[in-house]
Amino acid sequence: MARHLITSAIPYINGVKHLGNLVGSQLPADLYARYLRGRGHEVMFICATDEHGTPAELAAAKAGQPVADYCAEMHAVQAELGRGFRLSFDHFGRSSSARNHVLTQHFAGRLAEAGLIAEVQEMQVYSVDDGRFLPDRYIEGTCPNCGYDKARGDQCENCTKQLDPADLIDPRSAISGSRNLERRATTHLYLRQSVMRERLDAWIGAKTDWPVLTTSIAKKWLHDGDGLQDRGITRDLDWGVPVRKGAEPWPGMEGKVFYVWFDAPIEYIAATAEWADAHGLPEAAWRRWWREDEGAGDVRYTQFMGKDNVPFHTLSFPVTIMGSGEPWKLVDFIKSFNYLTYDGGQFSTSQGRGVFMDHALALLPADYWRWWLLSHAPESSDSEFTWENFQASVNKDLADVLGNLVSRVTKFCRSKFGETVPEGGETGPREAALAADLGQRIAAYDAAMAAIEVRKAAADAGRDPGSATNTSRPPPPGRPSRPTPRRPRRRRASRSTSSASMRCCRARSSPTRPRR
């Protein structure tokens, strides 16, 4: 009996997520949470929507809505889809919550006191007609290297050369197409990650049991070039957490907000506070999960995310936590995933390419998707979704093997024993062999789940019951030992062990396929 804090990377607000997003964070986190609850542990499973940043503002503008309304609506849509997929969050929060505003400002204040925030004046591109500063990738122009006319300010996607917006020929706003751009001076706050480099390096270096994907990305950022660089944590936007130093104003930073990657991970904490608020619980109820000095000393904290989120969770967020000088809970294990691909290419929200959560649920029950996604989770490398594979897997694993077993056992039971499940009779060597076999499978499954090896766990959970089938089969033709297995008493034993096997199968598979 232990206490487990589990967070899934929080999905961005702009639209319905695709299966790649789902399998990379929310779904495996749900699997783990369900498993641990099933084992009797105390679990706090947190997710939320990530609502700030430029894309949210643009998506709202495109929808012709105020950004707050747009986010509220999309949050409701994502929450509903989460329920549709049976994601068992204890709370599905919002990074735009009042709780997150307060906490984000609190952390910024603590970091400033610790000397970990620097104010930096820099020049950025401002679009007069759009009335906003443009991130590099929102500036379009002709690539000076290859002549491609839709190169982005950060990189030309045609020749892959990295660019600076100043390099672009004929630069224009990617939002409006306006060429009325100018460079303006603006001041931003930087998180001085570089001064924490040694400490982060030692911390990551000690995590020898983490997935290679997680540690290799972190180490690359720590050691590449001049090492870990400081990172801007503010933006010139309207929508976001206003920059404040704790409860105090921050002179010179009026009208600016924190960068979404500063406030998004803090939302894990804030969402737990939102959970307490939603249940009318006192502060202590959520703080016992997050403050080591207030009861979180025995909590094991596991994060789930796609590989694109790894730098923020291995570096920036730990700097926020460590740098605060307060005993907030630091992550114990980071499980990261590669990408799911779709027919050879990437899933793409912007291009509408792939299978999206709403479409998937409209087509087939959530369990079909959960089973396929978890049993094919992109753990060691990217993995591919194809309709053929999905169809074959669902038909074989779920309908043929599992469905048929249940159908068969129940029908047989009814035909021989009526409407009552018979008591177990005498057990013999076959039942003992079955029990031993199941014991081994459960042990293998437990080991895989403990290590959060999703594919392996799914394979162990779904693997049949072949032994159950064997137990209730007549003896093989070559060895006519007829009388014994034909006696009703033996049948009852077989029946009860078969149904035990079925129950066992159900227990193992319930985290994967909660409906069954």
Partner RNA sequence: GGGCCUGUAGCUCAACGGUCAGAGCAGGGCGCUCAUAACGCCUUGGUUGGGGGUUCGAAUCCCUCCGGGCCUACCA
Q: Which parts of 338-367 interact with RNA (CB under 7 A)?
A: 338-339, 346
Q: Rule CB under 7 A: is residue 474 a binding residue for RNA?
A: yes
Q: Write the CB contacts of 381 (distance below 8 Å, at least 6 apart in sequence).
A: 338
Q: Which is nearer to RNA, 17 or 34 (CB)?
A: 17
- Minimum distance between the CB of residue 376 and RNA, rounded to whole angstroms? 5
Of positions 144, 205, 403, 488, contacts RNA by CB under 7 A: 403
Q: Is 302 helix (H, G, I), strand (E, B) or coil?
A: strand
Residue 120: beta bridge partners?
188
| Contacts of residue 278, Cβ cutoff 8 Å, sequence gap at least 6 | 91
Specify the 3-state DSSP secondary structure of 344: coil
Partners of residue 139 on adjacent β-strands: 173
Q: Which stretch binds RNA (CB under 7 A): 69-77, 172-180, 403-411, 479-487?
A: 403-411
Q: In the complex, what is the shortest distance from the CB of residue 378 to RNA, in angstroms, rounded to a whole number?
A: 7
Interacting positions 122-141 with RNA (CB under 7 A): 122, 124, 134-137
Q: Measured in whole angstroms, how far is the alpha carbon of residue 45 from the centre of its chain?
A: 11
Query: Which residue do the tokens 């020049």 mark?
Result: 123
6-33 burial string, b = 16+ CB within 10 Å, else e?
bbbbbbbbbbbbbbbbbbbbbbbbbbbb
- 29 to 48, contacts with RNA by CB under 7 A? none
Among 31, 116, 257, 264, binds RNA (CB under 7 A): 264
Please report whether residue 473 would count as binding RNA according to CB under 7 A: yes
Residue 367 identity: D
Q: Which listed residue (407, 440, 481, 484) binds RNA by CB under 7 A?
A: 407
Q: What pairs with residue 383 in β-bridges?
A: 340
CB of 10 to RNA, least distance (A): 8
Choose between 87 and 134: whose C-beta lies nearer to RNA. Answer: 134
Which one of residues 389, 440, 481, 484 is an interface residue with RNA (CB under 7 A)? 389
| 183 near RNA, rule: CB under 7 A | no
Of residues 56-115, which lie at the interface with RNA (CB under 7 A)?
none
- The Cα-based distances of 162 to 32, 109, 152, 312 in angstroms read 39, 35, 9, 22
Tell me how far CA of residue 359 lies from CA of 85, 373, 389, in angstroms: 12, 15, 18
Choosing from 244, 256, 376, 441, the residue that interacts with RNA (CB under 7 A) is 376
- Two tokens at 58? 């643009």
By CB under 7 A, the residues from 283 to 342 that bind RNA are 307-309, 311, 338-339
- Which residues in the 208-237 window bind RNA by CB under 7 A? 212-213, 216-217, 220-221, 224-225, 227-229, 231-232, 235
| Identity of the residue, 228 or 493, whose beta carbon is nearer to RNA in the bound complex | 228
Are 28 and 335 a contacting pair, CB within 8 Å?
A: yes
